Amino acid sequence: MNKHSSIKSSGSLLERASEMYDFGAALRGGSAPIPVPPAVEPEQPKAGQPEAAQPIPAAPAPALAPAPAPTPAAAAIRSAMAPAPVSRTQVTISRERLAAHNFIVPDGPVTGLSEEFRIVKRQLLLAARGGKGFDPLPHGERILICSANPDEGKTYSAINLALSMASEKDNRVLLVDADFAKPSILSTLGIEKHRGFMDALADPDCDVESLVLQTDIDGLSILPAGSQTNQDTEYLAASRTAEIIDQLTRNDPARIIIFDSPPALAASPASVLALHVGQTLMVVHADVTTESALRDALSLLSGCENIQLLLNRTKFSPTGRKFGNYYGYGAS
């Protein structure tokens, strides 16, 4: 079990998942999967103030020579030191669309889905920020969401995790669509296409912050995948990737970055992205993802030392527990 896991008692989500799905030696000492409910893919002077007493005039001081105008070189240095203005596009996410596609609805009722992702995010945030005697993981604020194969729920899980984390009071979330070949975050949320991550990777003069979309959900912003290219892995492997990700982290210390990557066994960018993150969440489709596929995917993501599993599309709970009922709502 990961040392940052806050679930240790008998009958926990982790143990419940292990009873349902035998990963064997594939975990290599990592956490067991965390199950979530079934997925549906698809921010003049004050009036009346008295005048001060007038002092007795003194002898006039000698006039000072005017300061020389700054040279072009000095002006250029000042311009370079000044922070560049960041123009962010504002987008709206339909709450009705979220509900229709079985996503967490911000400020909506508490459901089994929202409660499950509260538990998932708590362990990830503990690893990212530290606490309870644990030191934060290096780059733990960067989280990669991946799966072994397509259609196992990684994008669904990435969006729900971002929505859940955005409700935190001490963090802001940047959801990055890093599935360059088949980007789906914008279309899933009903947002039109925009320039994004790949455009910043390909253009050294592009300010990646200017490509971040600010949503109407407090605490949530999105960086689209951007332009498509046949050299996505080569761009990711270049040194500029580390510079861009460092910039995204440095500009906002309260930011948690969630990367939705391509499936590990279907495209190579996932293994490169794993080198730049501190945590990876591997989404496993219950009763579908094979152990051999999981082993192969984990080996490809070995660039990240902290990998946890999230069991998706579970059909039952061995303990009979249903989240959401405590708040008066049925589990989803």
Residue 154: per-residue pLDDT? 97
Following DSSP, what letter does each residue of 85-108 receive, concatenated? P---EEE---HHHHHHTTPPPTT-
**Cα gap 286→37, rounded to integer Å:** 11
**Cα gap 234→116, rounded to integer Å:** 37
Residue 60: per-residue pLDDT? 52
> What DSSP designation does 323 have?
T
Architecture of domain 13-39+88-327 in CATH? 3-Layer(aba) Sandwich (3.40)
Secondary structure (3-state) at 223: strand
pLDDT digits (tens, 9 = 90+) for 41-85: 544 544 444 444 444 454 554 454 454 554 554 444 334 333 444
Ranges in the chain, pLDDT < 70: 1-87, 315-332
**Cα gap 324→301, rounded to integer Å:** 34
Amino acid code (one letter) for 138: P
Residue 83: per-residue pLDDT? 40
Residue 314: per-residue pLDDT? 78
Distances (CA, A) of 251 to 80, 198, 207: 17, 19, 12
Amino acid code (one letter) for 292: S
Q: What is the pTM of this model?
A: 0.74
Residue 245: per-residue pLDDT? 96
- Strand arrangement, sheet containing 89-91: 34-35, 307-312, 279-285, 142-147, 255-260, 172-177, 220-223, 213-215, 89-91
Domains of the chain, residue spans: 13-39+88-327
